[in-house]
Every structure is written in structure tokens, then in C-alpha cells.
Amino acid sequence: MSDALAGPDGALRCPWALSTEDYVSYHDEEWGRPVHGDDALYERLCLEAFQSGLSWITILRRRPGFRAAFAGFEIASVAAFTDADKERLLGDPGIIRNRAKIEATVANARVLADWAPGELDELIWSFAPDPDTRPAPAKLSDVPAVTDESTALSKTLKKRGIRFVGPTTAYALMQACGLVDDHLVDCVARKDTP
């Protein structure tokens, strides 16, 4: 028996996706879909870090503000942010005004600006587990918060100078960017739905 629930259109979805219309769209169109490109992955890494300790809906609803505040999450642009930019961000009501997370976002861009093009994409995707070794979850309790792969990804990113990326944040990144498919077995958004 699956935990999937019928949405307003009658389609079965992961239960968390049905609490708001914003979640339905995010669940159906983005979560678990492959994300590639250094800037796109940097954005997701930053948003997952900002989400730490908060609900994802808070971040999702402020994503346009985050994109505006952080130059569309273009790594080279954020890497050039000054102390004045950081102070500006601390006063921006369109984002989460957490000094440590803002500092980490800028510091991470500076680290990544020195990487070769495609290096972040290659590194993150190198931790994608073999999908054949991961049975489709039937219940929310079947979905882990941390895995061996997310722990290894976290350690590798930290060793390379990336901040605010613990194993739980790394796993949320893996879910959001499609490295793993944690849509429930009979969810309409599951890639391999029979």
C-alpha cells in the first residue's frame, strides 16, 4: 500500500506535494528531474542551504527574490560580491536574511569560480547512485534523509571548500536535482511509472 494521495485532478502524488498549489507545480515539474549546469546546480545548492532549519515552501515562495538578490545565481557574478553587497542582502526582505547563509553563498561562489567549467556538475553527478539498486519507495518512511552517497558528497564538497552542505542538505540536493528519484512508486511524477 502506497502513501500516495489523489490530488485535485485525481492523479496520485507524494503527499507532501498536495499541501499547496506551489508544491504541486514544484513536485510535478521540478523535484526529482535532472538538473545540469554549474550555475543551476549552484542555485540549488544555495537554496537547499538557505532551507536548512526552515520549510521548503518558505524558500520556494522566495525563489524569485533569491534569484534577483544573487544575480540569477551566476557563479562569477556572486563571486564578485563585496561586503557592501552582503550588507545589502541582509536588508533584502525578498530573501532569508541569515548572515551565515549569505556569507556561505558568496564564499561558495568564490570557491566555485576557480573550478573548471562543468566541474561542479561532474562532481555532483558522480555521486548519483545506480537507480537499479534503489527500489521505488512506497511510503514516505521508505525515503531516507541521509544516504552513504549524500554523506560522501557532503564530505567531498566540504573538503573542496564548500560551506553549509551537511549530509542531509546534500541528500535534499540529490532529490531536488534528480540524482535520485524519491517520488513514491505510484506517483504521477515518478519517471519509471509503469
Q: Which residues are annotated as a binding site for Zn(2+)?
A: 14, 27, 183, 187
Which of helix, strand or coil describes residue 137? coil
Which 8-state DSSP code applies to residue 17? G
Indicate which residue of 23, 31, 43, 48 is catalytic.
48
Indicate which residue of 26, 74, 103, 115 is catalytic.
26
Known catalytic membership, residue 26:
yes
Which of helix, strand or coil describes residue 110? helix
Known catalytic membership, residue 56:
yes
Q: Which residues are documented as binding site?
A: 14, 27, 183, 187
Indicate which residue of 56, 74, 103, 115 is catalytic.
56
- DSSP of 25-85, one letter per residue? HHHHHTTTS---SHHHHHHHHHHHHHHTTS-HHHHHHHHHHHHHHTGGG-HHHHHT--HHH
Known catalytic membership, residue 23:
no
Residues forming the active site: 26, 48, 56
